[in-house]
Amino acid sequence: MTPPIAEELLAPATLRAHAALHAALERPLELWERQAPRQWRLCIAAVGDERDEHIDVAGQCDQRLVSLLERAHATGRPCRATIAHDRVAVAAPLLNDGTEPTTIAVAEVDAVNGLYAERLSDSVLRELRQQDEVEWLRDENFVFSQQVTDDFEELTYLRLMATQLVVKDTSLNIFQLVDQSIHGLRQMIGAESIYFVRPGVNERPQVVTSCCHSPDASECVDHGTVARLANVHCDRAALAPCVRNDIRDTDPAARSAGVRQFLMVPICTGTRSFGWFVAINRNSAGRQWPPSPLLQLGQDEFGTWEASLLNAAATLVASHAANLDLIREKEHLLTNMVRTLVSALDSKDAYTRGHSERVALFSKRIAENLGYDDAATEKLYLSGLLHDVGKIGVSDAVLRKPDRLTEEEFAEIKRHPDEGWGILLELEQLRYVLPGVLHHHEQVNGTGYPDGLKGVEIPLDARIMAVADAYDAMTSDRAYRKGMPHEKAMEIIQSGSGTQWDAQCVEAFLGVIDDIQAIRYGYSQEERPARKGAALTPTCQS
């Protein structure tokens, strides 16, 4: 005799369906499982007030029962068969979780109730299937809802990060950009620590900065261990995230240093690498939002969500750093072009050589005293460098004349603001220098040129440059005279405050006169490098 198998070995869904049918039919049920075609094994024997004589509890069933079981298995729906003139057997295929063979519940009922029992069994099983589908849909809805929430939080964080990384301060470097983002990143992905690693000596990675969950450095993984791990995995993490949740099983040294999980992503663009972000040990308790079940490997493992977010943040930082480098390169190129224009002007007149840069330096210092910010003072510096660029259009004979100028010659000189404006007008990046270039010879009483502007009609940049230009012109040697002493120039500027020069700008000038003096006496113009050979490389094609 083959005894029935224990109920605990059956699938939960099978037992649930068996119990539901038993309650609905109010009849004892046999439970059979299919071993092979036309081979069935008894799982649960019927227990009740009556014995089902057509079933051999030893595990051998007659051909009528086998045919009924095979038909129920083939159709997947309850069916019945007459076993006596007044008795009917109803066979109902039960639900299972896909891990068990097909199981069939069999009940014996009166012949008059056979159709009712068959339909009732079908209704019960349909309801169970619908309940399972509803439960499955509820679980799926929760999973996708959580995924949408995670995606929204990720996008919100990345948008906030992108907003913070605006191009408003081109002096920022990669270290400062990382410092702006590393603290929020650690909380978002639930890491105990995040490290910024860069190639160091001999291209070996070295830790530059870090953010740990604890202010106590002894609770964080030491920089040496992080650098060693980064060196081991940097090739794998050169272009894509590298995740190692089993590192404590494969790296005893890392395990002894307290490393359990390891995530490394590159901070790079298509053409340049800035280093890597290295996240150590996932701490689910410290995560700002729980990860989606779809993407989560475990409560204490780095998964797709964490790797994707850290990689996206690294790409943002790298792109912003590369953009800042390009902007600085562009600004450097622009400054060099300005210096080239000024150098061309200086080469026409040895007496005015260095005048433009001194005026630029004086103007910058006066502007700082007036409250200009760093960006504005740099722009004013370029304006000062270019304020006399229009003199390129003045004849050398007039510029170098050793005697005082005639009215006609002075009229030619007075055209240089308009000439400079015309030269620079088409340079869109230098439009901000035009007010200073055009109006630095205006006077607050309206007697200046080229437009005879008065008072605040004159742009502030031009009013600042007018004071700086006058002071340097008076104290510098010219072809037709020697430069006057500092004291004499100061007396003239103070006496002309409010009539020739703006009183506020004169006051700011006097407030930094020591700095102006230091610039004046410390200034020395760099000599052009001497050519030592032919310029053969690089070429436009190289």
What confidence category does residue 294 fall into, taking pLDDT thresholds of 50, 70 and 90? very low
CB 441 within 8 Å of CB 466: yes
Query: Model confidence over 517-542: pLDDT tens digits?
Result: 999 888 776 666 777 778 777 776 66
**pLDDT at 291 > cutoff 80:** no
Averaged over 74-89, what is the pLDDT? 88
Structure tokens at 288: 């700002």
**pLDDT at 149 > cutoff 80:** no
**pLDDT at 57 > cutoff 70:** no
Identify each DSSP E strand in 240-354 by its residue range.
242-244, 262-268, 273-282
**pLDDT at 168 > cutoff 70:** no
- The C-alpha atoms of residue 92 and residue 78 are separated, in whole angstroms, by 4
Tell the CATH superfamily of the 347-522 domain. Answer: Hypothetical protein af1432 (1.10.3210.10)
At residue 14, the pLDDT reads: 82
Query: Model confidence over 269-283: pLDDT tens digits?
Result: 888 888 889 999 887
At residue 36, the pLDDT reads: 86
Q: What angle separates helix 460-475 from helix 513-522, to the nearest 10 degrees? A: 50
Q: Is 148 exposed, middle or buried (0-12, 13-18, 19+ CB in 10 A)?
A: exposed
CB 348 within 8 Å of CB 390: no
Structure tokens at 356: 């433009």
Q: Is the dihedral of CA 154, 155, 160, 161 positive or negative?
A: positive
Window from 44-58, 295-309, 334-348 with minimum mean pLDDT:
44-58
Sheet containing 39-44: order of strands? 39-44, 30-36, 103-110, 87-93, 79-84
At residue 301, the pLDDT reads: 85
Give the SS3 label for residue 132.
Answer: helix
Query: Model confidence over 329-365: pLDDT tens digits?
Result: 888 888 888 888 888 777 776 666 788 889 999 999 9
Q: What's at 339, amino acid-wise?
A: R
Averaged over 290-304, what is the pLDDT? 61
CATH 3.40.50 fits 7-130, yes or no: no
Domain 169-324 CATH class label: alpha beta
**pLDDT at 49 > cutoff 60:** no
pLDDT, mean over the chain: 82
Q: What's at 55, amino acid-wise?
A: I
Averaged over 188-205, what is the pLDDT? 81
Percent of the chain with pLDDT over 90: 28
The radius of gyration of the chain from alpha carbons, rounded to an integer in Å, stands at 44
Phi-psi region of 76 (alpha: psi -120 to 50; beta: other; left: phi over 0): left
Query: Model confidence over 434-455: pLDDT tens digits?
Result: 999 999 999 999 999 999 999 9
Residue with tokens 């701490």: 283
**pLDDT at 253 > cutoff 90:** no
Residue of 100, 105, 116, 88 lying closest to 31 (CA atoms): 105
Q: pTM to 2 decimals?
A: 0.57
At residue 493, the pLDDT reads: 96
Every domain of the chain with CATH number 3.30.450.40 lies at 169-324
What distance separates the 2 farthest-apart alpha carbons in the chain? 142
Structure tokens at 259: 């490393």
Averaged over 471-475, what is the pLDDT? 93
What confidence category does residue 5 fall into, taking pLDDT thresholds of 50, 70 and 90? low
Every domain of the chain with CATH number 1.10.3210.10 lies at 347-522
